[in-house]
Amino acid sequence: MITSSLIKIFIPATAAFIIGILLAPLLTHYLYKFRVWKKVRGKTALDGSHAVEFEKLRTDTETSTPRMGGILIWMSVIFVTVGTWALAQFIPSPLTEKLDFLSRSQTWIPLFTLIAGASMGFVNDLLDIQPSGERGVRLRTRLLFVTLVSLFIGWWFYAKLGVTAIGIPADGTLELGVFIILLFILITLGLYAGGVIDGIDGLAGGVFSSAFMAYAGIAYFQGQYDIAAFSATVTGAILAFLWFNIPPARFWMTETGTMGLTMTLAVIAFMTDTLGNGYGIAALPIIAFPLVITVVSNIIQIASKKLRGKKVFLIAPLHHHFEAIGWPAYKVTMRYWILSIICAVIGMTIALLK
């Protein structure tokens, strides 16, 4: 049984990595052919002003490195998810049926979320590369989109799956009733805000792969093998992206990757909580700690500028501050990778406490 369930997880994850590696040259060709990068240099700071300090760090690559690298991730995940399902339907055998992890009870919701987030992110990236220098879909529109999608999914958890409480380690559960929907919306928005961690070559890929692999492990030990297989498949796809995103990056993830991944991470955290008799939500701030500190550093920076008239960090979010004080980009990236792995292990331990 253990060997069989591990096959269900490792084969799709490996397949997603291989497919991503094979698709990358084709994606690269079209990204460069159609010049899928910003045509106008410049970035707006969190308070709406011109991001002068950031531009000192990124003037050389902002208008020459293709965006939309996140396409590689969600295309690989969709290909493997639908592919294993198709094999089970049209070439039924013990192996193909075992590999099929597309199930209504476990993977429909995270797959829908990934596609929805990636689609809106794609539209944003498409607008971001126009010669007019547009800054993509307006932030408030994107936030409204994330809110509406998470409202629907939160309602689904509450009304269809009967989720009304979250697990509290060593203390049972915390009953929230209908407010579970609001909690889901807030968590999803918070994770989405952390998506700006996609700012240094290799950084986002390492952080996201650690987080999804952690939840693959959590779901596996809960016996939720379809979620585990899906999370592992996402991890495999991210690692394929990361192969080409390490310095110097062949392409950047941008919104079509980060929006889908952050929203999907919120869904999987909820599905590995009370539905799996675990503590997936309680573990989320630890597993996703690099995303959390990214958001917190932004909040601190904005609040300080509003209330004190001066900045706390040279640049927010925090990873750019480290660059600004002299850390090479590769050092920031590798230290975040180490931190992500440690947080993933600690978070898994917490999520599986009994």
- Which of 4-18, 104-118, 123-137, 297-311 is the least confident region? 123-137
Residue 132's pLDDT band, with cuts at 50, 70 and 90, is: confident
Model pLDDT, residue 133: 63
Model pLDDT, residue 59: 55
| Domain map (residue ranges) of the chain | 2-351
Model pLDDT, residue 353: 84
Model pLDDT, residue 225: 96
Structure tokens at 269: 């955290």
Side chain identity, residue 124: N
Q: Considering only residues 40 and 153, tell me which one the structure prediction assigns the higher pLDDT.
A: 153
Which phi and psi angles does 28 have, rounded to 5°?
-60, -45
| Residues in Cβ contact with 308 at an 8 Å cutoff, skipping those fewer than 6 apart | none
Model pLDDT, residue 53: 60
Which phi and psi angles does 174 have, rounded to 5°?
-115, 115
pLDDT at 273 over 70: yes
Average pLDDT on 270-297 reads 96
Model pLDDT, residue 277: 92
Model pLDDT, residue 247: 87
pLDDT at 222 over 60: yes
pLDDT at 7 over 80: yes
Average pLDDT on 79-103 reads 96
**Cβ(283)–Cβ(218) below 8 Å:** yes
pLDDT digits (tens, 9 = 90+) for 53-77: 656 665 566 668 999 999 999 999 9
Through-space distance between the first and last CA atoms of the chain, rounded to whole angstroms:
22
Neighbouring CB atoms inside 10 A of 90's CB total 8
Q: Considering only residues 44 and 1, tell me which one the structure prediction assigns the higher pLDDT.
A: 44
Which of 97, 117, 71, 125 minimizes the C-alpha distance to 268?
Answer: 117
pLDDT at 294 over 60: yes
Summary mean pLDDT of the chain: 93
